[in-house]
Structure 1
Amino acid sequence: MSDTEQGTRSGRLADPDVEARLARLDELLAGLEAAPGPTVRSALEAVRLLTEVYGEALGRVLDRADGELTGRLTDDELVGHLLVLHEIHPEPAERRAERAVERLRPAVRERGGDVEWVGVEEQVARVRVTTGGGGCGAGCGGGTDDVSDAVRAAVLAAAPELAAVEAVAAAAERQAAPAFVPLDTLMRRSAPQSQEPR
């Protein structure tokens, strides 16, 4: 039984329902922030205080969890996101970003490309993105820009502490192109040297 089916049968929210509620929450908060008045300020403060309390509760759960439970909690997309939001995720940002790239890799490979984690330099995540060329015409979609955008979004969602995501060239692209030597130059080099007068 999938997590979605299990959540629905036990009265819990399925992932699409959670996403819909989060989207609606964003809309409501944006509307509140744009409205003037003391009532709005009180409502926003109530949301902030409630969020802080829930963050503290999550932190206490982590304090009491063993390694296996901590791993299961951080693997859950919603819980992991909340741990990041409250800045209490036990994994370092670099590891979270690497895992986000690993999760995207199968989908990118299905489209004939690849994405590889390189590392972090000065708060910038570095990934190597390649797209497949094997007989895939213009109608295939999923070009380098699309893949790079998806990787950037996934990495920054998993590790918002990072400043940016940078795509680095694949090894074949980094190698300098061989210098072009004109044919007539080769012909001159291979011609016999002029003989000295006898």
Structure 2
Amino acid sequence: MAEAAERSVSGRLTDDEAEERLARIDGLLAELESAPGPTVRRALEAVRLLSEVYGEALARLLDHTGAEPSGRPSPGEDELVGHLLVLHGIHPEPAERRAARAVERLRPAVRERGGDVEWAGLEGRVARVRVSEGGGGCGAGCGAASSPLLEAVREAVLAAAPELAAVERVPEPSARRAAPAFVPLDALARPATRG
């Protein structure tokens, strides 16, 4: 267990280590929330208050860093920092923009496999995406509520905008039917001329 708690050589957490710790925190908080007793309630209150204070500190930090363009990505673009900013309700970028960007980042890899994914908008707290599977025609998962591709899109969108409740597939627009060719009525009524 001591090895799992150690940090990388630089003293900073890698993305995988941070993700592992976030999952562990979620599990521990879920266990605490289901445990009875006043001690548990006080512990949960302490965690909530600590989160509020850290959230305020982060908001003030953002106030200071937002003033100068540095050429570096904004703090909210770092996934771990972004989660923290969302947790405290202070992420500078709207959930819809972050979710749409996550879909656009997936798009080249999906197209490489013969499919496509497109941002279709936000409805309340539900992200809506168009997903077409590769392989020509419908393929596995066409029209299905869930597919491996849709699950990958869902995971990416909710990682970028964890405050969203769900990701839903919307149907692709029907193929447009070719409009019938316009034939003027007088062309039908005229006798054909031979040249």
Same fold (TM over 0.5): yes
Whether contact under 8 Å (1:112, 1:133) holds in the other structure is yes
Unaligned segments of structure 2, at least 5 residues = 1-6, 179-195
Give deviations 1:113-144, integer Å, cap 9, x for gaps: 11111223455433221111159x87xxxx97
State how 1:135-174 maps to structure 2 within 5 Å. Answer: 145-162=147-164, 164-171=166-173, 174=174
For residues 26 and 125 of structure 1, the distance between their equivalents in structure 2, rounded to whole angstroms, comes to: 23
Match in the other structure for 1:26: 26
Out of 92, 108, 111, the position equivalent to 2:110 is 108
TM-score relative to the length of structure 1: 0.70
For residues 53 and 15 of structure 1, the distance between their equivalents in structure 2, rounded to whole angstroms, comes to: 24
How many Å apart are 1:91 and its aligned residue?
1.0
Whether contact under 8 Å (2:103, 2:156) holds in the other structure is yes
Structure whose residues are more often helix by fraction: 1
Out of 100, 124, 127, the position equivalent to 1:125 is 127
Tell me which structure has the larger Cα radius of gyration: 1
Match in the other structure for 1:191: none
Percentage of pairs with the same residue: 68
Whether contact under 8 Å (1:125, 1:166) holds in the other structure is yes
Match in the other structure for 1:196: none
C-alpha change, 1:34 and 1:94, in structure 2 (3 Å) is same
How many Å apart are 1:97 and its aligned residue?
1.1
Number of aligned residue pairs: 165
Whether contact under 8 Å (2:79, 2:160) holds in the other structure is no
Unaligned segments of structure 1, at least 5 residues = 1-6, 179-198
Match in the other structure for 2:76: 74
Report the RMSD for the aligned CA atoms in angstroms. Answer: 2.9
C-alpha change, 1:20 and 1:165, in structure 2 (3 Å) is closer
TM-score relative to the length of structure 2: 0.71
